[in-house]
């Protein structure tokens, strides 16, 4: 993809962290604290979460309930309700939008287009939907995105279902839509799947294209 670098030419202001399996609330609180610090360096976190439902600011019909299993947690990201669990990779983008080469209004489309380019490189047919932001395979949602911008810093991010718990995920309407979620493993050959899922490449799913 052309024209979607995170860092300006000649600069190295990006830190990518592979955090593994982390509690959602702890991760959210750490992310918000980082945003409040007005970071000069871009941060991209690659994580997985224990099972949790999160509700965005567009969700008006579901209340936070930490007593449930999985818990239902309110967030300040865009979108409605979604589900996170092991087997789903989440890439959080804490970016100083004053130091990117694309317009802040293009943040969501830039991330989705970069993800799409990577999936095409593995021969995976799919579609981008910018109205109900995400990536779809055969009308099922494999990747979701919900972002927020505060004081010129972006946060929250993109989730991609590699091999997650679809039974629980599809017990809701993913992102408030009348669609089902799906896993990459059901649509891609074993070698390509293993390459995508490997620790050293999963963060680069989006990052390497944003930096080209």
Is residue 181 within 8 A of residue 170, CB to CB? The reply is: yes
Of 7, 175, 182, 207, which one is the catalytic site residue? 175
Is residue 39 within 8 A of residue 19, CB to CB? The reply is: no
Separation CA 37–CA 39 (nearest Å): 6
Task: Examine the residue annotation and report whether 175 is marked as an active-site residue of this protein.
Answer: yes
Catalytic residues: 175
């Amino acid at each position: 993809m052309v024209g979607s670098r995170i860092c300006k030419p000649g600069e190295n202001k990006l830190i990518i962290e592979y955090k593994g399996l982390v509690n959602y609330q702890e991760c959210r609180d750490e992310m918000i604290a980082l945003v409040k610090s007005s970071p000069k360096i871009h941060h991209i976190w690659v994580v997985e979460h224990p099972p949790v439902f999160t509700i965005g600011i567009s969700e008006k019909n579901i209340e936070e309930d930490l007593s449930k299993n999985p818990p239902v947690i309110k967030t300040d990201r865009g979108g409605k309700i979604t589900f996170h669990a092991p087997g789903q990779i989440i890439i959080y983008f804490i970016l100083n939008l004053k130091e990117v080469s694309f317009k802040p209004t293009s943040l969501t489309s830039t991330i989705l287009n970069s993800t799409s380019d990577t999936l095409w490189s593995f021969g995976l047919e799919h579609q981008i939907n910018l109205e109900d932001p995400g990536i779809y395979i055969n009308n099922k949602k494999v990747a979701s995105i919900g972002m927020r911008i505060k004081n010129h810093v972006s946060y929250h991010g993109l989730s991609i279902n590699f091999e997650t718990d679809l039974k629980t995920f599809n017990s809701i309407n993913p992102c408030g839509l009348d669609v089902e979620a799906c896993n990459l493993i059901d649509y891609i050959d074993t070698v390509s799947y293993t390459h995508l899922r490997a620790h050293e490449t999963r963060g680069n799913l989006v990052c390497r294209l944003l930096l080209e």
